[in-house]
Structure 1
Amino acid sequence: MDRKEPGELTGEDEPWMPEGIPARLAADGSASSQRLAALVEYDGTEYAGFQVQRGARTIQQELEQALAVVSGQAVRVVPAGRTDAGVHALGQVLHLEVGWRHSLGDLQRAWNANLPGDIAVRALAPVPATFHARYSARSRVYRYQIDNEPVRRPLVARYAWHVDRPLNVGCMAQAASLLVGRHDLRTFGQAPQGENTVRTVLRAECRSQGALVCIEVEADAFLQHMMRRVVATLVAVGRRRLSVGEFGDIMQARDPRRAAGLAPPHGLCLMAVHYEPGLVDWSLPSWESWQKESCIE
C-alpha cells in the first residue's frame, strides 16, 4: 500500500488503521486523554529541523499531521530537544496527550503507517501527567561522526562529515576530556532566552572505528550549536592547529569567537535521552506475541 502524504485524504479515503479499529477513532469523543512518551528515530536530511516552521518541512509537522490523521485530534508533540536542520536522531523522546482506547501497539503501528519513511515511532509508553520530555530528562547523549578517509565514501556521506586530512584522535580525546564537569560553555553555544550557559558534561569521548571517528558527549543539557562547535574545535586539535591546552583555554574563555567554527549538521545524531529509572518503560509486546494476537482464528 502506498503511503499518502499527511492531509491528502479525500472524502472516500481512510487512513491506515490496525484491523478492527475504525478510522478517525476519536471522533466519537469516547476516548479519554492520556499522557504518553514516544521514542522517535529520524533521518533529518530532508528537514528544516524538528520544530514547526512556516513554509518549511519539519519533523514535528510530520509527526503531528500523521497523528491527527489516525486520532482525529490536533495533538502537539513536545521534544526533549529541538534538533537543527539536517541533524538526525536515534533516540529522540517526545511527550503528548492523546485520546486512544485501543492498545499502544495499535497506535504505534497506525502512526508509523502514516509517517514518511525517514521518521519512525520506535516505542510508546504511558507516563505520569507531570512527565515532560525536556524538563524531566536527566541527560542527553549526542554523537558526531567523521569520515576520516582520504577519499569520501558515498555510503556514509549522509551521516558523517568527510575530513580528508589525517586526525590525531588521541589528542582529540584528551581535549574532549576537558569538557567533563560543570562549566560555563558560552564559547560553544547559546542558551535559550532567560537561561545561563553553565552545563554539566558527564562524559566526553573521542574514539576511532577504522576510518570513522566518533565524538560522543553526554550532558545534562546542550546549548544551541554546542556539539557542532565542540566538534569543529576538536577537529582543529586533531589537525594540530590547536594544542590540547589551547582547547582548554578556548573553553574557559567563554567567547564564541574563539571556537573553530561550526561542524556541518549531517554528522550529528541525538542518540538517547535519559530519565530517572522507572519513569519511562519502553517495553512493548514482542513481534512474536503481536503476530499471535493478530491471527484470525
Structure 2
Amino acid sequence: MAFFEFQDDHQPLEGRIALGVEYDGSAYCGWQRLTQAPSVQAALEAALSKIANTPVQALCSGRTDTGVHATRQIVHFDAPVPRTQKAWLFGANAKLPRDIAVRWVVPVADDFHARLSALARRYRYVILNQPSRPVLERANATWCREPLDAERMHAAAQALIGEQDFSSFRAAGCQSKSSHRHVHFIEVRRYGPMIVIDIQANAFLHHMIRNIAGALVAVGRGDHPTTYPGELLALRDRTQGNVTAPGCGLHFVDVYYDERFQLPQEPLGPNMLAFVGEWSGERTLPDSEWARERRQRRVHPPRREVSS
C-alpha cells in the first residue's frame, strides 16, 4: 500500500519540514497552546524539541477545538538542526503521549506554510444513531438516541453550499474578520447505525461545523423542515440557531494544497470509515478567485543565518 513508505535513516533533513499528525482530542483544549490547559501543539513541540535539543515551533493547517480529533492535521516547522526522516518520525512518536502520533515526515519548499498555503479543509462529523449509548465509540462519535432521517439531513444541507455569509453558524466569540466562507460540498450518509456529515470548505469559522451539525440533527429528528438550514443562513443571526453539537464527533480528515508541494496521500479517516475507501486529495476543488490567489501566493521563506 502506498502509505507504507521507507523512512530514510541516512540523509539529514534541513530547512522546512511538514508532518502529518493524528490525535485524539479528548484530553486537550484543542490544537492551540494555552497556559491553563494541555494542548496538542504544546505536546508536539515538546517532543520535537527533545529530538532537536533546542526549542521548535510548529504551525498547523487549522486549529481544532476542545475534544475535536484529527487524522490528517498538517503541521510544518523549520528544523533548527539536521536530523534524518526516521529520527524525526520515530523520535517524535517515542516522546509523544499515546493519543498523538506523527504519521509521516517530508521535506517541503521554504514557501510552504501549513495554514497559509491550504486551499481547502475537510471534516467528518460522526453520529451514532442507536437507542443504547455507545461504548467503544464513546470518545469519537456523538450519540443520538432519536431516529434520524439522513436523506432529509442531506437535502437540507445543500442550501449551505457555495460562498455565503455564515454568521448564523459562527460562535459568539469567533475572531474571524469575515463571516463569509466557501463550502465546496456537504454530504450526509448513513452507514448502518452511523450517520456521517462530510463537509469541505476553503476554511471554517469557530464552531461552524458543530453548529451546522446541530441544525441538521434538528431536521433529521423532524423538528424542522428541510428548508431550516437555509432559513437560518438568511437570518445571519447565531442566536436563532440550534445547540452546538458536541466536539467528540468531529474529525479533521483532510487538507488540500497545490500539487507542487507533493504531500503524501493516505486513506481518509477516521479508521472506522476506512471501508468508504476514499483517499486524501481525490476530490476536485471548485474553481474560485480565492483558490487562484492562494495558489499564486508565495509565503516569505524563513531567514537563514549565513555562517562566517
Question: Where do 4+ consecutive residues of structure 1 move more than 6 Å?
Answer: none
Unaligned runs of 5+ in 2: 1-6, 267-308
- Could you tell me whether the CA contact under 8 Å between 1:145 and 1:161 is conserved in 2? yes
Aligned residue number for residue 62 of structure 1? 43
Residues 115-166 of structure 1 show CA distances to partners (whole Å, capped at 9, x for unaligned) of 0111011011211211111110010001101010011120111111110000
**1:266 maps to amino acid:** C
Q: Does 1:53 align with 2:34?
A: yes
Give the CA deviation at 1:168.
0.9
Which residue, 151, 155, 161 being the options, matches 1:174? 155
Instruction: Name the amino acid aligned to 1:156.
Output: E
The letter of the residue matching 1:185 is F
Matched-pair contact (CA < 8 Å) for 2:176–2:205: no
Q: How does 1:230-249 map to 2 (within 5 A)?
A: 230-249=212-231
Distance 1:101 1:118 in 2: 27
Residue 203 of structure 2: aligned partner:
221
**Aligned residue in 1 for 2:259:** 277
Q: 1:142 to 1:157 in 2, by over 3 A?
A: same
Q: Which residue of 2 aligns with 1:79?
A: 60
Match of 2:70 in 1: 89
What TM-score do you get using the length of structure 2 for normalisation? 0.79
* Counterpart Cα distance in 1 of 2:260 and 2:97: 31
Distance, in Å, in 2 between the alignment partners of 1:159 and 1:194 is 27
Q: Describe the superposition over 1:52-103 as per-residue Cα deviations: whole angstroms up to 9, x where unpaired.
A: 1112111011001111111112111111111111000000011111134342
- Report if the CA contact (8 A) 1:43-1:119 is conserved: yes
| Superposition map of 1:1-297 within 5 A | 33-190=14-171, 193=175, 195-282=177-264
Amino acid at match of 2:222: R
Q: Deviations over 1:194-235 (max 9, x none)?
A: 621111111100000001000010000000000000000000
- TM-score, length-scaled by structure 1: 0.82
8 Å CA contact 1:111, 1:121 repeated in 2: yes
Per the TM alignment, residue 105 of structure 1 is displaced from its structure 2 partner at its CA by 2.2
Can you give the 5+ residue segments of structure 1 that lack an aligned partner in the other structure? Answer: 1-17, 22-30, 285-297
- Contact kept? 1:126, 1:280, Cα under 8 Å: no
CA-CA distance at 1:186 after TM superposition = 0.8
Superposition deviation, residue 278 in structure 1: 2.8
Contact 2:211 2:243 in 1 (8 A): yes
Provide the rounded CA distance (Å) in 2 between the counterparts of 1:280 and 1:195.
31
2:23 & 2:238 partners in 1: Cα distance? 30
**CA–CA distance in structure 2, aligned partners of residues 110 and 283 of structure 1:** 22
SS in 1 for 2:25: coil
Alpha-carbon displacement from aligned partner over 1:255-295 (angstroms, at most 9, x marks no partner): 101221100100001001110113133279xxxxxxxxxxx
Q: Distance in 2 between matches of 1:142 and 1:277?
A: 20
Are residues 192 and 261 of structure 1, via their aligned partners in 2, closer, same or farther at CA, if it must alter by over 3 Å? Answer: closer
SS in 1 for 2:117: coil
For the pair shown, which has the larger CA radius of gyration, 1 or 2?
1
> How many angstroms does 1:37 deviate by?
1.0
2:160–2:229 CA contact under 8 A, matched in 1: no
**Counterpart Cα distance in 1 of 2:214 and 2:264:** 35
From the superposition, tell whether residues 283 and 270 of structure 1 become closer, same or farther in structure 2 (CA, over 3 Å).
Answer: closer
Shift of 1:32: 8.4
